[in-house]
Chains A and B, each alone.
Chain A
Amino acid sequence: MSQHHQQPVPVTQECTLLEAVNLALHYEMHHDESVVVLGEDVGTNGGVFRATSGLKETFGFKRVMDTPLAEALIAGLSVGMASQGLKPVAEIQFMGFIFPAFEHLFCHAGRMRNRTRGRMTCPMVLRAPYGGGIHAPEHHSESTEALIAHTPGIRVVIPSSPARAYGLLLAAIRDPDPVVFLEPKRIYRGTKLNILNDGQALPLDTCFTLRTGTDVTLISWGACIADTLEAADALSEKGISAEVIDVATIKPLDIRTMIVSVASTGRCVIVHEAARSFAVGAEIAAQISEKCFLNLLAPVQRVTGFDTHMPYFKNEQYYLPNSKDIVAAVDRCFKEA
């Protein structure tokens, strides 16, 4: 552990969300020698999406490990490494393959601190590209964040822009508890935005209000943020002022920010790609009804995927929410008022 890498000077770079992930990994590995990266194809290949590109060349195979093809192992290795003073950042190649790892998240990573009364902790990050919209094969397009969010002791974080990918991933790696970091691959290579590579983390457990408004609160995360912002533009042309909240940390949920907003607008539409029932949107709607029912001018609306399997890609556009669906849901809020 005695290598000293030349520290990069903070510069502003134009980045996609994917490049922002890569930038954050480089930054943190430069500044913290306990950070290691592991997963399938993360080394020489730089990851199938290239999120870990260049890491092995810079930091060596000891800190950037190509694992055998075994997802339970990847999660279990991370638990073992994290317990011994390393900060593993593991990649699950697609969220559709996260299920063998789930036992280690639920039975070990999430409860290590609690069950040992703080003797042993598990500061690991499990990254996975998630969601549909890139015409991927079967099992490559699911959004099952609710399954993980239901796990005590785990954080679930989802960025929706290059800047938030950079800042939230840094925060996730520095967090002393396990974080599942889900990267919306539909917007991996969309917009390029300027990022100052200065190692500044963004806060976890906090929503980001991306646009302020007075008539309706639109709540979303991940790739659907793009559709939601598009819908907000369309609504503005119709004279409806929409507030847009990016949840960003799914668990623990910053419900306060959402309640304050909904209490003032009186209307709420929740947008997510995941299946409709028992999803994070259902949790947010339940808490809104508990905490600001009397401020509501209309029933909470949801724009979501269906309780079906994610269809093969020829039909995925019928499953995924889009801006027109969101505008229609807002229209319902006004009709039913």
Chain B
Amino acid sequence: MKAITQAPIEAQGHQPLMAFSLEKIQFLDTDGNWLCERPSFASDQWLVQAYKHMVLNRVFDSKAIALQRTGQMGTYPSSLGQEAFGTAIGMALQKDDVFVPYYRDHGAHLLRGHKMSDLLLYWGGDERGSASGPQQDFPICVPIATQITHAAGAAAALKIKGQDQIALVTIGDGGTSKGDFFESLNVAGAWQLPLVVVVNNNQYAISVPREIQCGAPTLAQKAIGAGIHGVQVDGNDVVAVYQAILEARQRAHLHKGATLIEAMTYRLGDHTTADDASRYRSNEEVKQAWLNEPIKRLQTALHQLNLWSAEQEQAWQQQCGEQVDQAVQTYLNIKPDSAESMFDYLYQDWPEVMNEQLDLLADKLARQQHK
């Protein structure tokens, strides 16, 4: 290596231009203690509703994994440990908002009115699983970060049509590395879109940990470069995530544009049922993360407020189990769609030139029946 012969350059001529700061929202600590006053929306009833849904989400999740493990469903991305994230989103969204999900939003989907059996149907490899849910909501999005540009388009449509709703999109921490993420935040700032971007920062993009994904200390600060509001929340605190979305909605209504919310969570399970997280993280790390998980913390808070008892817990667990089992039965009773159904809904009007391909399929089916 050549020795540096030049004198180091001293910083000169600088003057302050701008300073940025970021805030974090948290209400409940990991032991279920209130760090500040309970916000007015978080009534007794609200807290119990949130808790019950988080439990349902977890029961659904473990059943879905069991279905995959026993060969009754396809690859499934668990939302274990991220129940506060999905529940807060589902509860904060209004009926006519546009929800643009990624693929780990089972908790939110259930609150949006998706049938549990349809979620299983989707992960069970059947397009009909994407047919339910509110008309304006997007189907589950697998290509990472692409959904955020659609959400920006949906938000632009709301603005063009003069409607008051918001478009809310979810994305993982890995997704924030992609161009679509930056392009969408950028246009949301330039056009002051009623867009809420909620990052489920669960610390891993399959095997790649957050600190390798990005050199910035927070993902929330990506908002600054786009000229939109950014905030970090404790994603295991359902009250905090909900509060952040309420503020974002108000910002959108006041025509002050978009918000990026970085929700700090931890993916307690594998990336999907096809993944083995023990290859890239230690048991000790996961054990520590369990101390932070969202359900226990809210349960403790409910106990302290005398809103939840062991009997209620037992009864609710049983009820969730029954509800999920019923959905599983519905799912398992749905016969696979016809082979020809792959040709359905390709275009609104069937292109006659494709008749030939239907004939090819019919021949193939005939051969399979006579083997």
Mark A residues whose CB is within 8 Å of B.
Answer: 1, 36, 62-63, 65, 67-68, 70, 72-73, 75-86, 88, 100, 103-104, 107-108, 112-121, 152-153, 155, 176-177, 205, 252-256
Return A61 CB to nearest CB of chain B, in Å. Answer: 10
Q: Which residue of B lies closest to A256 (CB)?
A: B353
State whether A252 and B138 are in contact (beta carbons under 8 Å apart), knowing that A68-B183, A73-B152 are contacts in the complex: no
Q: Is the CB of A1 within 8 A of B161?
A: yes
B149 within 8 A of A: yes
Contacts of A252 in B (CB 8 A): 347, 351, 353-354
What separation, in Å, do the CA atoms of A178 and B331 have in the docked complex? 32
Known contacts A116-B131, A253-B353; A80/B146 CB under 8 A = no
A114 near B150: Cβ-Cβ < 8 Å: no
Chain B residues within an 8 Å CB radius of A103: 143, 146
Whether the pair A76, B345 counts as a contact (CB closer than 8 A) is: no
Enumerate chain A residues within 8 angstroms of B353, measured Cβ to Cβ.
Answer: 205, 252-256
Nearest 5 Cβ contacts at the A-B interface: A80-B153, A76-B149, A77-B153, A84-B157, A80-B150
- Nearest-Cβ distance from residue A84 to partner chain B, whole angstroms: 4
In the complex, chain B residues whose CB is within 8 Å of the CB of A115: 127, 130, 139
B346 pairs with A153, CB closer than 8 A: yes
Q: Give the CA-CA distance A113 to B127 in the complex, in Å.
A: 10
Given known A-B contacts A115-B130, A153-B346, A77 and B156 have beta carbons under 8 A apart: yes
Judged by a CB distance under 8 angstroms, whether B162 is at the interface is yes
Size class of the contact patch on chain B: 35 or more
Chain B residues within 8 Å of A108, by CB: 143, 146, 150
What residues of chain A lie closer than 8 Å to B133, measured between beta carbons? 119
Known: A63-B160, A80-B156, A119-B135. 5 other contacts (CB 8 A): A1-B162, A76-B152, A117-B131, A119-B131, A120-B138
Residue of B nearest to A76 (CB): B149
Given contacts A80-B156, A85-B157, A256-B353, contact A121 B127 (CB under 8 A): no
Please tell me if the beta carbons of B146 and A76 are within 8 angstroms of each other in the complex. yes
B157 pairs with A70, CB closer than 8 A:
no
Q: How far is the CA of A117 from the CA of B135 in the complex (A)?
A: 12
B187 at the interface (CB under 8 A from A): yes
CA distance A114 to B179 in the complex (A): 27
Contact of A70 among B131, B161, B187 (CB under 8 A): B187
In the assembled complex, the CB of B74 is this many whole angstroms from the nearest CB of chain A, namely 15
Q: Give the complex CA separation of A65 and B152 in angstroms.
A: 13
Check B187–A77 contact: CB distance below 8 A: yes
Interface of B is mostly: helix
Identify which of A100, A104, A113, A117 gathers the most chain B CB atoms within 10 Å of its CB.
A117
CB of A101 to closest CB in B, whole Å: 10
Tell me the complex Cα distance, A254–B354, Å: 10
One digit per residue, 1 when the CB lies within 8 angstroms of any chain A CB and 0 when it does not, for chain B 132-155 equals 110110110001001011111111
- Which residues in A have their C-beta under 8 angstroms from that of B183? 68, 70, 72-73, 76
Q: Specify the chain B residue showing the minimal Cβ separation from A254.
A: B353
A–B complex contacts, Cβ < 8 Å, 27 sampled: A68-B183, A68-B186, A70-B179, A70-B187, A72-B149, A72-B183, A73-B149, A73-B183, A76-B148, A76-B152, A76-B153, A79-B149, A79-B153, A80-B149, A80-B155, A81-B156, A84-B136, A85-B157, A107-B143, A107-B146, A116-B127, A117-B127, A119-B135, A176-B349, A252-B351, A252-B353, A254-B353
Given contacts A70-B187, A81-B154, contact A177 B347 (CB under 8 A): yes
CA distance A256 to B355 in the complex (A): 12
A116 engages B351 (CB within 8 Å): no
Chain A residue numbers with a CB within 8 Å of B344 are 114, 117-118
What per-residue 1/0 map shows which CB atoms of B318-356 lie under 8 Å from chain A? 000000000000000000000000001111110111100
Name the residue on A nearest B169 (C-beta): A80
CB distance from A153 to the nearest CB of B (A): 6
Q: Taking CB as reference atom, which chain A residue is nearest B134?
A: A119
The residues of A that contact B167 with a CB separation of less than 8 Å are 80
Q: Which of A81, A86, A153, A253 is in CB contact (< 8 Å) with B347?
A: A153
Cβ-closest chain B residue relative to A118: B345
Measured CA separation A80–B94 after assembly (Å): 19
From B348, which residue of chain A is reached at the shortest CB distance?
Answer: A176
Question: Is residue B158 within 8 Å, beta carbon to beta carbon, of the partner chain?
Answer: yes
Q: Is the CB of B161 within 8 A of A73?
A: no
Q: Which B residues are in CB contact (< 8 Å) with A68?
A: 183, 186-187, 190
Min Cβ gap B143→A in Å is 5
**Cα separation A78 to B136 with both chains bound (whole Å):** 15
Contact B157 A86 (CB under 8 A): yes
Task: Report the bound CA distance from A86 to B154 in whole Å.
Answer: 9
For A100, list chain B residues within 8 Å (CB).
Answer: 179
In the complex, B57 has a CB within 8 A of chain A: no
Residue of A nearest to B187 (CB): A68
CB distance from A78 to the nearest CB of B (A): 6
Is B180 among interface residues, defined by CB-CB distance under 8 A? yes
Q: In whole angstroms, how far apart are the Cα atoms of A27 and B345 in the complex?
A: 29
How far apart are the CA atoms of A120 and B130 in the complex, in Å?
A: 10
CA distance A67 to B351 in the complex (A): 34
Please measure, in the bound complex, the distance between the C-alpha atom of A62 and the C-alpha atom of B159, giving whole angstroms.
9
Check A114 against B346 for contact (C-beta < 8 Å): yes
Cα-based distance from A112 to B347 in the complex (angstroms): 10
Do the beta carbons of A78 and B153 come within 8 Å of each other? yes
Query: Cα distance A77–B139 when bound, in Å?
Result: 16
Residue in contact with B346 in the complex, picked from A36, A67, A86, A113, CB distance below 8 Å = A113
